[in-house]
Structure 1
Amino acid sequence: MGQARHLAAATALIAAAALTLGACSSDSDSGGDTGTGTGGGKAKETAPGTPGSSTAPAAGTGGIPAPATSGGSYYVALGDSYAAGVMIPETVPGSPKNCSRSSSNYAHLTAKQLAVPSFTDVTCGAATTADLGAPQVFKNGGDSPAAQFDALGPQTKLVTLGIGGNDIGFGEIMTTCVMRSGDKASPTPCKDAFTKDGKDVLAQRIKDTAAKVDASLKTIRAKSPDARVLLVGYPSILPETGDGCPAQVPIAVGDLDYLRGVIRGLNTMLSTSAGTANATYVDTFTPGLGHDVCQPAGTKWVEGIAPQSPAAPAHPNALGQQGMAAAVLAKAKG
């Protein structure tokens, strides 16, 4: 396949993935923030206490109410598409369609291993820190889940949070880097696109997101003061060395180091925020080394733009969720 056709196919796949994930919430500078307001979706009723279930609307928030018990489930999972396990079978019954919440995500696997007395998963594809405290509204319409924080309560003893990637514009970064990878005018077309007036735009976004993560951790502590809070980082996506794998992720070779730095920078910020908030950071990057997108099926934890196993493009597959669950479980038991 020629370079032009390859890029066209890659762009089409990314666009399709964006639609599947709800194309993020409402507009923001980084392409990830959401506004307030209510969704027009109707809650689907399932048995109280099951993942994706609810008993009554969450006061003052609108949208599909978060699963609720009088004081919150023992274990509550919060987060974005990496936490939700987007497009990995099977979708949690009764959960909002746009969230694409998998029953094989790391939270479900962790809950099963710990045999917790009650568990609520409110993770959702395309979520940003803003969607933790307000209903998540999707550009493509559909059910609008209530604020993820509504699932928390004083009886909650364990919380996992995986967030931040959409705040820095993960979808935009993917699309930009793939679309510019054929630009021969510069060896680093993606880095150039995110450099304004000599400054790294993504580094600034990570810095700005730190304050949002800090505020989110404070809210969790206020709502669930006795909970063990685990802030889950992002796994290794690109190989640590070499020229990458254009068939899986068509990115200019010169941009690979830059993007590796973005992932490491995001994780470093999350680790620092966890330490500041007396939460526990879960490193999924280190155990994910050697399981990057360029590895063969059965080894890779993260899929490329044309997934070989069920998962969203550039997202963890079932094996990746299992690997992340092992890291989460180790900290939860520690």
Structure 2
Amino acid sequence: MVKLNTSVRRFVTAVLAAGAVAATSAAVASAAPPATAVEYVNLGDSYSAGSGVQPAAPGSYSQCAQSNVNYAHLIARRSGMRLTDVSCGGAKTDDFYRAQYPGLRPQLDALSPRTGLVTFMIGGNDGDIFGTTVAKCVAAAITSPGAYAPCQQRYGTSTSHQVQTQTYPRLMRAFAAVRQHAPRARVAVVNYPWIAPTTPQPCPGFPVAPGDLPYTHGIQATLNDALRRAAAQTGVTYVDVAAASVGHDSCRPKGVRWVEPLISDVQTVTVHPNALGEREMADVTMRTLAAR
């Protein structure tokens, strides 16, 4: 038998109190979740899937790049829940309702009235917010050598405006749909850990101009705030891993950073959480759910 620590016990108790399927202490402690274990579903994109962190989840769709040690798998193992993880690299909110690849089903199909807990990370691929921002700012640094913030000068508030006017309504629709498909579940959205710091500083793995580090941070802050507001409007628990990740952005050294920079020898999928980040995200999520 594995002896559960206090935080795990509080976490499981909180989930059960929210209406999850009952499970005995012996069932929670078991290494293999029994049939009566809480049904836990993880949805979302590559940040939710843990893309780039090895090993891959057994039986997962290869193009989804889902990790066997992403935050959801870690939570499930620690708490004895029965996990169904349909998170997939590249997913957008639309992929909650449609098949992202042939052979896959819409992510919402994994939910049911029996689902006891749902977690997800989503929104960064809507309008290609993350990918486009990184590409534009790297290109701006290359074509404007010596400039302080060429990306901000060229694009200003256009991406943040896109988040406010286009991404936020999609998030609202997606959050409401999750609650509708899993009416008895505790539902939690996990925001995105910081990629860039708030101040200009040396960042050899993230080749953007100094002033564009806080600029990209600001765009991510706008997205995280959209997630927070959508959660508040739909009754979804907001897990703030970004606050916990301050000082652990991609400009920090190995062993400190939770997110890998664009140039990295740690994993093939860069600008994404590493193994340390996944562990810390699991911890923050469990603490948040246990406290509410």
Same fold (TM over 0.5): yes
**Within-5 A mapping of 1:1-334:** 74-116=39-81, 118-137=82-101, 144-169=103-128, 170-182=130-142, 183-184=144-145, 187-195=148-156, 200-207=157-164, 208-245=166-203, 247-310=204-267, 312-334=269-291
Asked if structure 2 preserves the Cα contact closer than 8 Å seen for 1:244 and 1:256, the reply is no
CA contact (8 A) 2:196 2:214 kept: no
Is this contact kept in 1: 2:56–2:66, CA < 8 A? yes
Partner SS for 1:329: helix
Q: What residue identity is the alignment partner of 1:103? A: N
Whether the aligned pair in 2 keeps the contact of 1:80 and 1:163 (CA below 8 Å) is yes
Give the drift of 1:304.
Answer: 1.1
Could you tell me whether the CA contact under 8 Å between 1:310 and 1:318 is conserved in 2?
Answer: no
Structure with the largest fraction of helix: 2
Superposition RMSD on alpha carbons, in Å?
1.9
Alignment length, in residue pairs? 253
1:110 alignment partner AA: I
Q: Which runs of 4+ in 1 moved over 4 A?
A: none
Once the 2 structures are TM-superposed, how far is the Cα of residue 145 of structure 1 from its aligned partner?
2.3
State the TM-score, normalizing by the size of structure 1. Answer: 0.72
| Partner of residue 4, structure 2 | none
Q: CA deviation at 1:89?
A: 0.7
Alignment gaps of 5+ in structure 1? 1-72, 138-142
Distance 1:173 1:262 in 2: 8
Specify whether residues 239 and 186 from structure 1 end up closer, same or farther in structure 2 by C-alpha distance, changes over 3 A only.
Answer: closer
What is the identity percentage for the equivalent residue pairs of Structure 1 and Structure 2? 37
Query: Shift of residue 186 of structure 1?
Result: 5.0
Could you tell me how far apart the structure 1 residues matched to 2:226 and 2:215 are?
16
Q: What is the distance in 2 between the residues matched to 1:94 and 1:285? A: 30
